Amino acid sequence: MESKYDVIIIGGGPAGLTSGIYTSREGLNTLLLEKGLCGGLPAITDLIENYPGFSDGIKGRDLIAKFKKQAERFGTKIKEFEGVRRVEPSEKKMLIETSKGKYNTYTLIVATGSIPKMLNIPGEAELRGKGISHCATCDGPLYRNKDVVVVGGGDAAAEEALFLTQFARKVILVHRRYELRAARVLQERLKENKKIELLLNHVPVSIKGKNSVDAIIVKNKENNEEKSIEVSGIFVSVGFLPNSKFLEGMVEVDSFEYIKTNEQMETSIPGIYAVGDVRAKKVRQIVVACGEATIAAISVRDYLGAVSK
C-alpha cells in the first residue's frame, strides 16, 4: 500500500530533523525516513561546544533528542530503520521505495549526510572494528591506559585526539603534511596536552595484527623511512564521502559526488532538495545544516504553492 505525502525527508540528522520542524510547522504532511537511528554524526559526538544557546556545550545525543522531540511535536512522522532503496521522479509526484514499503510524495528533501573515508592500506579492512575505529566517542573508553593513533589533520581529527586523552595513556596524531588544518584554538590545545604527540609529514603504510591491532607502520614523506608504532587502537579521521549513491545519474553532483543545488537548496530536478553534509559546499557545521534545512523547507512550501496538486 502506498502512502502520499507533501514532502518526504531522507535522513534523520540535524538537517533532516530541522527540515521536518519547518515543513510540519507550515502544515505540510511530512514523513522522515532514517535508515538507522536519528542523529547522524552529531549523535556520536561527545560534546558540541559551538551550537548557539548552550554556553557550556551539549552532548550530541542530547541535542539530537531535542531536535527529534521538536520535529515530532509539530507533526513530523519519523520512521527509523527504514532505508531508501530507490527514488523514481515524475512530473508532479515521485515514488520513494524503502526496505519496508513505497510512498508517494510531491517533494523530496535529501539530508543523508556522509560516511567516513578509509585509508585503503593493508590490514585496514581485516582489522576494522578490531582496533580500527572512526568514532572516539563510541570506542574511546575501550583504550583506557593504552596507546592509540589518530590519523588526520583537520578539526575532527584534533577533536578526536583531545577526547581520547581522557582514556588513553598516549595519543599520537599522524598527519601527512607539515601543518595541521585544524582551527587554531584546537592546534593550541593539542600542543598544550602532554598526552599528545604530533607526528607530521608522515603517512600510514599498513596496519599489523591478527585478531586485533598491534601496530601501525608509517612513512616519513621526506626521506621515505618507515617505522612501526605499537598501539592498541587506530582512529581514522581523514574526511568523508557523501551518501548520494542512491541518486546516482539522477541529480547533478560535483567531482566528489556531493549534490549540487541552487540558493534555494533545489537540485537539478525540480521538487528535489539537498541539505546538510550531502550538499556540495565548503563549510560543514550543524548550524549551517540547520540553515540550509530552513531554506529548503520554505522552498518546498513555495514550490507546492506554485504547483497544482
| Domain end marker among 193, 213, 236 | 236
DSSP-derived 3-state class of residue 247: helix
DSSP-assigned states of every residue in 109-172 = EE---EEEPP---TTHHHHBTTTEES-HHHHGGGGTTSEEEEE--SHHHHHHHHHHTTT-SEEE
How far, in Å, CA of 26 to CA of 80, rounded?
Answer: 23
| Domain end marker among 175, 209, 236 | 236
How far, in Å, CA of 274 to CA of 261, rounded?
Answer: 7
Please tell me whether residues 211 and 65 are part of one structural domain.
no
Catalogue the E-assigned strands of 135-294. Answer: 147-151, 170-175, 196-200, 202-208, 215-220, 226-230, 233-236, 240-242, 272-274
How far, in Å, CA of 266 to CA of 274, rounded?
Answer: 7
What pLDDT, on a 0 to 100 scale, did the predictor assign at position 1?
A: 46
Instruction: Write the single-letter amino acid at 204.
Output: P
Please tell me whether residues 191 and 244 are part of one structural domain.
no
Task: Report whether 218 contacts 121 (CB < 8 A).
Answer: no
Please tell me whether residues 123 and 213 are part of one structural domain.
yes
pLDDT tens-place values along the chain, 309 residues long: 457 999 999 999 999 999 999 999 999 999 999 999 999 888 877 778 889 999 998 998 999 999 999 999 999 999 999 999 999 998 788 999 999 999 999 999 999 999 889 999 999 989 987 999 988 887 899 999 999 999 999 998 999 999 999 999 999 999 999 999 999 999 999 999 999 999 999 999 999 999 999 999 999 999 999 999 999 999 999 988 999 999 999 999 999 999 999 999 999 999 999 999 999 998 888 999 999 999 999 999 999 998 865
Please tell me whether residues 232 and 244 are part of one structural domain.
no
By C-alpha distance, which of 126, 120, 143, 108 is closest to 28?
A: 108
Please tell me whether residues 257 and 190 are part of one structural domain.
no
Task: Tell me the backbone φ, ψ of residue 187, rounded to 5 degrees.
Answer: -60, -40
Task: Tell me the backbone φ, ψ of residue 10, rounded to 5 degrees.
Answer: -105, 115
What pLDDT, on a 0 to 100 scale, did the predictor assign at position 307?
A: 81
What pLDDT, on a 0 to 100 scale, did the predictor assign at position 2?
A: 59
| Domain around 205 | 118-236
Task: Report whether 273 contacts 261 (CB < 8 A).
Answer: yes
* C-alpha cell of residue 196: 599528545
Task: Report whether 160 contacts 136 (CB < 8 A).
Answer: yes
Q: What is the DSSP letter of 48?
A: B
Please tell me whether residues 232 and 122 are part of one structural domain.
yes
How far, in Å, CA of 30 to CA of 5, rounded?
Answer: 6
> Cα 243 from chain centroid?
9
Please tell me whether residues 225 and 285 are part of one structural domain.
no
pTM of the entire structure? 0.78
Task: Output the CA torsion 153→155→159→161 (10° steps).
Answer: 0
| Domain end marker among 236, 262, 293 | 236
What pLDDT, on a 0 to 100 scale, did the predictor assign at position 308?
A: 63
Cα dist from 87 to 61, 95, 250, whole Å: 30, 6, 9
Task: For residue 128, give the CATH number of its domain.
Answer: 3.50.50.60
Greatest CA separation found in the chain? 67
**Tally of domains within the chain:** 2
Q: Answer positive or negative: Cα dihedral of 299, 301, 302, 306.
A: positive
How far, in Å, CA of 77 to CA of 5, rounded?
Answer: 10
Please tell me whether residues 102 and 122 are part of one structural domain.
no
* C-alpha cell of residue 83: 532505508
What pLDDT, on a 0 to 100 scale, did the predictor assign at position 128?
A: 85
Please tell me whether residues 145 and 223 are part of one structural domain.
yes
| Residue 230: other Cβ atoms inside 10 A | 10
Please tell me whether residues 122 and 228 are part of one structural domain.
yes
Task: Report whether 173 contacts 238 (CB < 8 A).
Answer: no
Please tell me whether residues 152 and 295 are part of one structural domain.
no
Please tell me whether residues 111 and 122 are part of one structural domain.
no
Task: Report whether 66 contacts 60 (CB < 8 A).
Answer: no
